[in-house]
A and B are shown apart, each in its own frame.
Chain A
Amino acid sequence: MTSSSAEGERRRRFDNLVSVYHADMFRYAAWLCRDRSIAEDVVQEALLRAWKSLDSLRNESAAKHWLLTIVRRENARYFERRRLETVDIDSLTAAQAAILAETPDEALADMRRAIFELDDDYREPLVLQVLMGYSTQEIGRMMGLKQGAVLTRLHRARHKLMDRMANE
């Protein structure tokens, strides 16, 4: 295969993957960082990294897991880089408010607010289970947790949401 046709094939392969998984990547990033514009930055960085290391992906059926792992790592890097900067609580709330503002009905907005208020440790496994469809075993592998710990977090996450929605 010539260099240019190999490059073309590589680019086609990448475009196909991105077209299928871009929405998952964005939503995962958005629920991790709770901010649309940061999520867009994280996804951009993740796409760049995925492009550079595309050749390490040998099995297309693992593409979703591979891309989400890159998003997770980029999100951690993003906040690691900004750890020493002042965190503006008001602007974080404003970022969440922007997502809530696009919500079509009040009940849905209440649920989004409740999910935003979950600790990261509870929100992330819930997103991976409900939105991404991963089993508790797979979530454990992604988050570096034992399956029992994942089950505990998911149980607590739903209980918190139940309590919160009951008080709305």
Chain B
Amino acid sequence: MNCEEYRQALTADPAWTDETGHAAACAGCQAYTRKLQSLNLEIARAMQIEVPALAMPDLPDIDAARVTTLPARRRSWAPLWFAVAATVVLAASISLRMSGLFVTYDTLAEEVLAHLDHEPASLRVTEVPVSDDRLQRALPANVAVFDRDRALVTYANPCIINGHRVPHLVIQGQYGPVTILLMPEERVAESIPLEGDSVRGMIVPVGNGSIAIIADRDEPLDPLRRNVIESITWTT
């Protein structure tokens, strides 16, 4: 490691540890380290601006007893055997609930909402669109075409819902990110409302498939639904 590399690493991350021992043999970098430590202290001190007394806003009543929560994510520290057992039970449960000739729509709704909980990183407020390549990987041309002039697509990922590959897109709505799941193989007879803890939406029938649209509770759903439906053309 040379001086430039050492200083670059340390300047970006003060918690970085020099395992090469470069600074021990370099007086210049020792001086740089001291200068940087002093700068970091000054930055930390400067950032401690005075905080006003807490003014709690008027909190609306929420009937806590009626609040339903989505299933919790599997904890990463769980032992492997437990994870395997849980997966088997979950798979058996899903296959039982989803088996048969007809789709149990409530279960599809649950799965859609639970899927949101598993990809929280998709829900960012941003103005950066996904690349065309990324969108095409998530949404192949033989599934559907999305009109990018109608909405800012900020996330695109191929996901699995009810055993089918489903393009998962996020567009930016008026009140934050809006999740769109394109489900060409999930036929529904009529719109299914979706109600999460802080989100709401619907699964709407479109052609021979359906589209799930989930947004912040404040987002007006009707114009959103129209815009999404008009943005999508199935090609399957």
Contact = CB atoms under 8 A, between A and B. Distances in A.
Given A27-B49, A55-B67, A7 B61 contact: yes
B96 interface: no
Nearest to A70: B198
Contact of A161 (B43, B63, B64, B67): B43
B101 interface: no
Contacts of A129: 13
A55 B36 CA distance: 42
Interface string B131-173: 0000000000000000000000000000000000000000000
Contacts of B67: 55
A87 to B, nearest CB: 16
B57 interface: yes
B47 A3 contact: no
B39 A158 contact: yes
B12 A2 contact: no
A38 interface: no
Contacts of B43: 111, 115, 126, 130, 158, 161
A107 interface: yes
Interface stretch (B119-127, B187-195, B226-234): B119-127
B40 A3 contact: no
A144 B121 contact: yes
B49 A47 contact: no
Nearest to B177: A73
- Where chain A touches its partner, the secondary structure class is helix
A56 interface: yes
Contacts of A52: 60, 62, 198, 217
B64 to A, nearest CB: 4
A23 B51 CA distance: 6
Contacts of A130: 40, 43-44, 47
A27 B54 CA distance: 12
24 contacts: A7-B63, A7-B65, A14-B59, A27-B51, A30-B49, A48-B57, A49-B198, A52-B60, A55-B64, A58-B69, A73-B125, A77-B175, A77-B176, A99-B49, A129-B13, A130-B43, A131-B48, A136-B12, A141-B121, A151-B12, A155-B12, A158-B12, A161-B43, A162-B35
Interface of B: 8, 11-13, 15, 35-36, 39-40, 42-52, 54-57, 59-67, 69-70, 72, 117, 121, 124-126, 128, 175-176, 196-198, 217
Interface of A: 1-3, 6-7, 9-11, 14, 18-19, 22-23, 26-27, 30-31, 36, 40, 44, 47-49, 51-53, 55-56, 58, 72-73, 76-77, 80, 99, 102, 107-108, 111-112, 115, 126-127, 129-131, 135-136, 141, 144, 150-152, 154-155, 158-159, 161-162, 165
Given A22-B51, A55-B64, A152-B12, 8 more contacts: A3-B66, A49-B198, A56-B70, A72-B125, A115-B43, A131-B47, A144-B126, A150-B12
